[in-house]
């Protein structure tokens, strides 16, 4: 496959690069730092390294880059430590969210997790969830659903990934 370019979803890039490397095929991929972290958390034995990191600096982004956030009701300040909560989570970020929620559970938070492929904010808008964990860019859809950012979990830049032995940037 010399000089072959393939196009896959951002969350699938780490899988393809890792598996192609395992097959002995030299390759690199471009994805979000959040998606790489999620893959590595789910697959701790992998061949991936960050070869380069490109800072995302979007003027239209709420935090200058896509940021995984805990969202809650706009008009009030609820604490997950006060009551039992239901949290709608984008399953694309299951491992990162589980890690974050584990820290809250150690502080006494009690919750039920709902994993969705999308429409996490809609679950809160319809009263099916008290909180949401999902990626926020402009904050528009969160605001439209009556939500605001309660906490920033992970800000994501763009990363070039490849084999560990090609000049590791992050390991």
pLDDT band at 170 (very low <50, low <70, confident <90, very high): very low
pLDDT band at 118 (very low <50, low <70, confident <90, very high): confident
Range of the domain at 30: 10-56+157-166
- Total domain count for the chain? 2
Q: Is residue 97 part of a domain?
A: yes
Query: What confidence tens digit (pLDDT) does each residue in 41-95 have?
Result: 999 999 999 999 999 998 999 999 999 999 999 887 777 777 889 999 999 999 9
Residue positions counted in the chain: 171
Q: Is residue 32 part of a domain?
A: yes
DSSP-derived secondary structure letter, 126: T
Q: Is residue 138 part of a domain?
A: yes
Q: Is residue 114 part of a domain?
A: yes
Q: Is residue 171 part of a domain?
A: no
Query: pTM for the full model?
Result: 0.87
Residues 77 and 130 in one domain: yes
């Amino acid at each position: 496959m010399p000089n072959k370019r393939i196009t896959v979803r951002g969350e699938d890039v780490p899988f393809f690069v890792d598996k192609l490397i395992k097959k002995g095929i030299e390759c690199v991929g471009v994805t979000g730092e959040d998606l790489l972290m999620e893959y590595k958390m789910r697959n701790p034995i992998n061949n991936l390294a960050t070869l380069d990191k490109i800072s995302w600096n979007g003027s239209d982004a709420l935090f200058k880059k896509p940021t995984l956030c805990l969202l809650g009701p706009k008009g009030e300040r609820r604490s997950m430590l006060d009551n039992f909560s239901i949290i709608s989570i984008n399953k694309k970020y299951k491992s990162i969210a589980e890690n974050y929620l584990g820290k809250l559970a150690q502080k006494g938070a009690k919750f039920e997790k709902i994993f969705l492929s999308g429409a996490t904010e809609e679950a809160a808008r319809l009263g099916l969830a008290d909180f949401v964990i999902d990626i926020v860019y402009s904050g528009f859809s969160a605001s439209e659903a009556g939500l605001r950012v309660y906490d920033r979990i992970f800000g994501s830049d763009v990363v070039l990934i490849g084999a560990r032995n090609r000049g590791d940037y992050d390991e």
